Amino acid sequence: MAKCSICGRDAVAYIRYQRRYLCREHYIEFVENKVRRSIKRYKLLSKGSKVLVSVSGGKDSAALLMALSRLSKEYQLKLYALHINLGIGEYSEKSLRASTEAAKMLRIPLIILNVKDLIGYTIPELARRLRRPVCSVCGLVKRYLINAVAVELGADAVALGHNADDLAVYSMKSFITQDLEYLDKLGPKTENIQGIAVGRIRPLYEVYEKESFLYAFLLGVPFIHDECPHVNHESLEQILKVKLNEVEEKKPGMKIMMLRNMAKRIRDLPRREYRVQSCRYCGLLSSTEVCSFCRMTARIHGEPLGPIVRSRVRELVKESESRQLSSAAG
């Protein structure tokens, strides 16, 4: 059995791009050091930040929640978790259970939103009614709800579980489709826009997908190992993921190099020019007079649901904060 290059204990992994073996303890430290370095290098968080962590129930958000929880003392973070129940059958039920268990294990308050309760339809039902791809509707709804919760919570940042593989693939896709303006959104963070949008941070920016899995597995944080039934294995993203991993195997460290260089160049990349404004119905970030969420819900219900959803989100956030206060007092 290969031994850890640091302490000589049994190794659990070999890090090709560093040419060293690591045992369980040093592997955990290695991933946390990556997160710590990204926080510092990309100025993702400052001490005392209030952070809303978006948790899906999968390995990446489990790893993210665990890493931020373990770093929370050092950075004096106030962490909240958010899980959105998408209504995708058994997959969503399992995701909700894993997210609840992970938040409970780490003693992080969890806010749960149910898309069907808020909009009247599950994500697949919405997609059918709108005649749009499930993933596109899902992305739109999730982005809106995450931002709505973060604004109500007064969060300093929303932490997302995108790993290095995800971001390398999205970047390659943007290049291939020449949607170069999208590259600007793939960096380690986006900025806050006072009162209408909370900036997003990606603490796993330099953590590989496999590393994220192994970190969550080694620390025993609950996560589901099921694939969303709507994943399309023939999509450009899936094909690029396989190809990038073939390159990584031959050129270890390529994905990190690509992302680090991209983060440095992000200010030079072309940007889509639009006027930042607040939606005339719900008041949240929009590039036009009415935000995409209000437009989408108006198509289905005849009226935009943004204001009603925001008011329900406000109640849920208040309930969560008062539960926090009473548990701190008790």
Partner 1 sequence: MAKARVIPDNKELTVDSGISVEELLKAAGFNTESAVVLVNGSPVPEDYRVKEDDEIVIVRVLSGG
Residues in touch with partner 1 (CB under 8 A): 1-2, 11-14, 16, 21, 56-62, 161, 165-166, 208-210, 213-214, 217-218, 223-228, 231, 237-238, 241-242, 245-246, 248-249
Neighbour tally for 91: CB within 10 Å? 17
Minimum CB–partner distance for residue 206 and partner 1 (Å): 15
Minimum CB–partner distance for residue 177 and partner 1 (Å): 19
Cα-trace Rg, the chain: 20
C-alpha 124/C-alpha 64 separation (Å) is 27
Calculate ∠ Cα 321-323-327, nearest 5°: 120
Residue nearer to partner 1 on the CB measure, 176 or 242: 242
Minimum CB–partner distance for residue 170 and partner 1 (Å): 11
What six digits make up the tokens of 212? 């994220």
Residue nearer to partner 1 on the CB measure, 135 or 300: 135
Residue nearer to partner 1 on the CB measure, 97 or 225: 225
Largest interatomic CA distance in the chain: 66
Minimum CB–partner distance for residue 231 and partner 1 (Å): 7
Minimum CB–partner distance for residue 56 and partner 1 (Å): 5
C-alpha 75, offset from chain centre? 20
Q: Which residues of 25-52 are buried (b: 16+ CB within 10 A; e: fewer)?
A: ebbbebbbebbbebbeebebbeeebbbb
Q: Is 179 exposed, middle or buried, given 0-12, 13-18 or 19+ CB atoms closer than 10 A?
A: exposed
Residue nearer to partner 1 on the CB measure, 152 or 165: 165
Minimum CB–partner distance for residue 119 and partner 1 (Å): 22
- Whether 31 and 67 have beta carbons less than 8 Å apart is answered as yes
What six digits make up the tokens of 276? 């930042």
Residue nearer to partner 1 on the CB measure, 64 or 285: 64
Strand duo 20-22 + 13-15: pairing: antiparallel
Residue nearer to partner 1 on the CB measure, 146 or 279: 146
C-alpha 70/C-alpha 283 separation (Å) is 35
C-alpha 30/C-alpha 17 separation (Å) is 13
Residue nearer to partner 1 on the CB measure, 128 or 225: 225
Minimum CB–partner distance for residue 105 and partner 1 (Å): 17
C-alpha 227/C-alpha 255 separation (Å) is 23
Minimum CB–partner distance for residue 195 and partner 1 (Å): 30
Q: What is the DSSP letter of 43?
A: T
Partners of 189 in the β-ladder = 201
Minimum CB–partner distance for residue 212 and partner 1 (Å): 8
Residue nearer to partner 1 on the CB measure, 176 or 180: 176
Residue nearer to partner 1 on the CB measure, 152 or 209: 209
